[in-house]
Structure 1
Amino acid sequence: MSETNSMVVLFLQGPPGVFARTIADSLEAKGVKTLRVNLSAGDWLGWHDRRCTSYRGGLENWPEWLRTFIKSNNVTHIVYYADRVPYHVAAAEIGAELGATCLTFENGYLRPDWITLEHDGMSSHSRFPEDPDLIRETGLLLPEIDRRPLYKYPFVNEAVNEVSYNMANVIFALAFPGYVRDKLYHPLIDYLSNIPRLALASSRNRRAYHVIDDIIATGLPYYVFPLQLQSDYQLRYNSQYDHIGDAAEEVVVSFKKNAPSAARLVFKVHPLDNGIEPWSRILGQIAKKHGVKNRVLLVDGGNLEQLLKNAAGALTINSTTGLHALRVGCPTKVLGIALYDIAGLTCQKSLDEFWRSGTAPDPELLDALERLLAATIQVKGCFYTKEGREAAASLMAERMIADTVNLPGALCKSPPRLEKARSRNIATTFSEQLKSRGKTEQWSHVWRG
């Protein structure tokens, strides 16, 4: 029996749309059997052919059902998008128990035009190395990265898929009565809140550019904290913070005590923020509480790279904007768990020390890291154009069949960041997530410090 004939690849949830099905089709064309479990109406909308089975039970019964399904179908590989979604956390644990290869994919670290594909999980659960000497030694031997933007797409392509998927889960909820949406906000509230944001985007951007110009023109030192989306599952499941407001207050307290007296702290709203979290009020309350109201600024729009190029430092919980800061040589402090939080790149000193002695990234080590990323856990392509989907799906299928995901040189025996996550009381197991499930979906999750 050939290697491909012995493979049975089970797909769980993918990004909204048909991308997961495109990977499966590419595998099938190479002789690999593929299966799919649909957990929700949105899943069914994107993929409902002979390969699909629907699971309509509750989340608490999912592990045992999945264990039986994997055994009955001789599954050898499990593939899922968004590794910290509770269904996928359970799948990773069961896959490890039964000896199946677990692979996860997500938006790429080297965006645009890249997709991440790696073993098991990301951030806390990534098996990508964090040893700077190993990264330098391995990465610098690899070829330069193809950074050409080949698969551009209008935002509407992504928006249509997102809205269709999530609203299908609301409208046809009774078709999958046991499904638990991993969403912080109800989709209807989320999408309706975007309407005024979109309508005022141009004027908001113009104001932001003026504010940024003024910040830079003063010549005074400033630090940038780009806000993530409060709904970002990487934030909720790979950091110690229940809300960004908690991180913001920690940063403001340290800033007041330790930053140069002339310095300012600039928070920047995420470009896709839906407006539900009242950042101006939240950050204003924190700044006023700690007596730094005139030194804390909020920018909503404008060019982040321009801010970073002139900043004394940048802070992030675990956003990929940290990589953007490193690329422009900005000293960067990571508060949560991030793959690129590596000695020689990000500041490894305490937050209190960061303000006056933040360390700039080593450009050679950054080059080695990005080359190693591109060669081992990144594939060129995108989710939302036919050409981009097919290019990425073909490469991902080839790597799965050849068993070269995370290779060469980027597959640690165990996740090197996992102990750090556990020490910060970050939920790392399915049972831990079940206990804290009340935090995963609310109409709003506004910070109340």
Structure 2
Amino acid sequence: MGTPSHNYWGRLRSWREYLERLVDLHQITDIVYYADRRPYHRIAQAIARERGINAYAYEFGYLRPDWITLEKWGMGAYSHFPDDPQKIRSLAANVQVEWPSDRYPHPFIQEATSEVVYNLIPVFFPYLYPFYERDRYYHPIKDYFSYIPRLARSTKSETMADQIVEELTASNRPYFVVPLQMQSDYQIRHHSPYVHLSEMIDEVMQSFKHYAHKDALLVFKIHPFDNNCENWPKVISGLASHYGCRERIRVLDGGNLHQLLAHSQGTVLVNSTTGLQALNLGIPVKTLGIAIYDIEGLTCQLPLDKFWNNATKPDPALNQDLRKLLAASIQVHGSFFTPAGREAAAEEFTDRLVNGTVNSHGAYEEIPPRLERARKIGVPIPDDSYWSDKC
């Protein structure tokens, strides 16, 4: 790390004491961290609240590609972004957004290499940060080397998926799409009621079997970055056999998601940003976790069992208002993976942090508006959370 940075080589149990001293010594006014809810970051956020200073989390953007999320205090269940449709409409009416024309494309291999190198350095060079505690679902060795079998068959899998998508879109048979997220995703671990994604797959398949029209199909699409550890095709096949509906289930490892969604009857997901893509296409969306876009008038608010036959389409005007307000308040145009994208994002980050315009244009609720629903559906709110006794 370069000057004037500080490296921490202690243990997690001593992190709070170290950071408190650092904050007091340098009179720090803002804490900014990448990825919400990691153990070190939860402690940093708690310190910020105790000292009355600001804390900001940033991550990949909701309005992908070429956007980065920057929110005050947290994301997902802890987001302060409003969820009331009338308030979103009202606030968006006063927002002017000039949608950037700049694009920051990058090859998949660049993103994958950055991810792998970052997470394997502590494994192969543990003496650099000997007491660092990973909070990854899988050990990095298992995580990354499990990709190899999937990569080896990727060409064949993509060809088969493309063929199935063509067959689905060419037929008149109704189908629903279930885009799977990754088991290791923080959006699953901290913003959904599921310990394991197989629970979600079971819930969806059971409901589909009993309540969807008998001619309908259920199409599971594996996440393009999935590491193959869970063997989702086997899990899905086993559950389909259990519920006696194998002939109505399809599993895709590849294929054109846009085309797949555009011809579907709807999509069921936990909280993936694929939901925003579906909303843009006017496709009914049912979320099973906590999502920034799970708003009355956009996503279907009916129970899952009723979604299959009574799915409601999103209001296109409200969807545009949501996008406008997101872009103006908690989305920063830029990219982690190109010099131009990083430069643009850093400039906008600096401007918003210095001028206090994160969650601007009124897009900030004092109490995170999604926490109450999070509790109701079984999302674990840890005892160390500032909000654990406020919802």
What TM-score bracket applies, with the shorter chain setting the length? over 0.9
Instruction: Give yes or no for the alignment of 1:200 onto 2:153.
Output: yes
Q: Residue 196 of structure 1 aligns to which amino acid in structure 2?
A: P
Q: What is the number of equivalent residue pairs in this alignment?
A: 385
| Alignment partner, residue 189 of structure 1 | 142
Q: 1:430 deviation in Å?
A: 6.5
What is the rounded CA distance, in whole Å, between the counterparts of 2:162 and 2:93 in structure 1?
Answer: 38
| Alignment partner, residue 141 of structure 1 | 94
Instruction: Give yes or no for the alignment of 1:419 onto 2:367.
Output: no
| Alignment partner, residue 34 of structure 1 | none
* Higher alpha-carbon deviation: 273-282 or 336-345: 273-282
Q: 1:214 deviation in Å?
A: 1.3
| Alignment partner, residue 447 of structure 1 | none
* Higher alpha-carbon deviation: 284-293 or 367-376: 284-293
Instruction: Give yes or no for the alignment of 1:73 onto 2:26.
Output: yes
* Higher alpha-carbon deviation: 291-300 or 321-330: 291-300
* 1:66–1:429 Cα change, 3 Å: farther
| Alignment partner, residue 325 of structure 1 | 278
SS at match of 2:6: strand
Q: Is the 8 A contact 2:95 2:361 kept in 1?
A: no
Instruction: Give yes or no for the alignment of 1:377 onto 2:337.
Output: no
* Higher alpha-carbon deviation: 98-107 or 159-168: 159-168
Q: How does 1:48-67 map to 2 (within 5 A)?
A: 48-67=1-20
| Alignment partner, residue 346 of structure 1 | 299
| Alignment partner, residue 172 of structure 1 | 125
Q: Is the 8 A contact 2:198 2:235 kept in 1?
A: yes
* Higher alpha-carbon deviation: 113-122 or 149-158: 149-158
What is the rounded CA distance, in whole Å, between the counterparts of 1:145 and 1:220 in structure 2?
Answer: 40
* Higher alpha-carbon deviation: 48-57 or 336-345: 48-57
Percent identity between the aligned chains?
Answer: 46
Correspondent of 1:248 among 177, 201, 209:
201
- Alpha-carbon deviations, 1:108-163, whole Å to 9, x = none? 11111111111011110111000100111111332345153521112222222212
| Alignment partner, residue 388 of structure 1 | 341
* 1:109–1:145 Cα change, 3 Å: farther
Q: Residue 418 of structure 1 aligns to which amino acid in structure 2?
A: L
Q: How does 1:5-154 map to 2 (within 5 A)?
A: 48-146=1-99, 148-154=101-107
- Structure 1 gaps of 5+ residues are 1-47, 433-449
Correspondent of 1:303 among 239, 247, 256:
256
Q: Residue 123 of structure 2 aligns to which amino acid in structure 1?
A: V
Q: 1:52 deviation in Å?
A: 2.1
SS at match of 2:127: helix
Q: Is the 8 A contact 1:90 1:430 kept in 2?
A: no
- Alpha-carbon deviations, 1:399-449, whole Å to 9, x = none? 1000011101211112111122233342333648xxxxxxxxxxxxxxxxx
Q: Is the 8 A contact 1:229 1:270 kept in 2?
A: yes
Q: Residue 141 of structure 2 aligns to which amino acid in structure 1?
A: L
SS at match of 2:143: helix
Correspondent of 2:313 among 352, 355, 360:
360
- Structure 2 gaps of 5+ residues are 386-391
Q: 1:71 deviation in Å?
A: 2.0
Q: 1:172 deviation in Å?
A: 2.0
Q: Is the 8 A contact 1:132 1:344 kept in 2?
A: yes
Q: How does 1:274-289 map to 2 (within 5 A)?
A: 274-289=227-242
- Alpha-carbon deviations, 1:67-101, whole Å to 9, x = none? 23222221110000111111111211221111110
* 1:140–1:197 Cα change, 3 Å: farther
Q: Deviation above 6 Å: which 4+ runs of structure 1?
A: none
What is the rounded CA distance, in whole Å, between the counterparts of 1:123 and 1:387 in structure 2?
Answer: 28
| Alignment partner, residue 350 of structure 2 | 397
SS at match of 2:55: strand
| Alignment partner, residue 32 of structure 1 | none
What is the rounded CA distance, in whole Å, between the counterparts of 1:220 and 1:64 in structure 2?
Answer: 61
What is the rounded CA distance, in whole Å, between the counterparts of 1:103 and 1:197 in structure 2?
Answer: 36
Q: Residue 352 of structure 2 aligns to which amino acid in structure 1?
A: R
What is the rounded CA distance, in whole Å, between the counterparts of 1:96 and 1:429 in structure 2?
Answer: 16
Q: 1:215 deviation in Å?
A: 1.9
* 1:204–1:243 Cα change, 3 Å: same
Q: 1:66 deviation in Å?
A: 2.1
Instruction: Give yes or no for the alignment of 1:313 onto 2:266.
Output: yes
Q: Is the 8 A contact 1:325 1:332 kept in 2?
A: yes
SS at match of 2:289: coil
- Give TM-score, length-normalised by structure 1: 0.83
Q: Residue 316 of structure 1 aligns to which amino acid in structure 2?
A: L
Alignment RMSD, CA only?
1.5
Instruction: Give yes or no for the alignment of 1:157 onto 2:110.
Output: yes
Q: Is the 8 A contact 1:112 1:149 kept in 2?
A: no
* Higher alpha-carbon deviation: 287-296 or 311-320: 287-296
Q: Is the 8 A contact 1:119 1:406 kept in 2?
A: yes
Q: Residue 172 of structure 2 aligns to which amino acid in structure 1?
A: G
- Give TM-score, length-normalised by structure 2: 0.95
Q: Is the 8 A contact 2:100 2:333 kept in 1?
A: no
Q: Residue 42 of structure 2 aligns to which amino acid in structure 1?
A: V
* Higher alpha-carbon deviation: 141-150 or 52-61: 141-150
Q: 1:329 deviation in Å?
A: 0.7
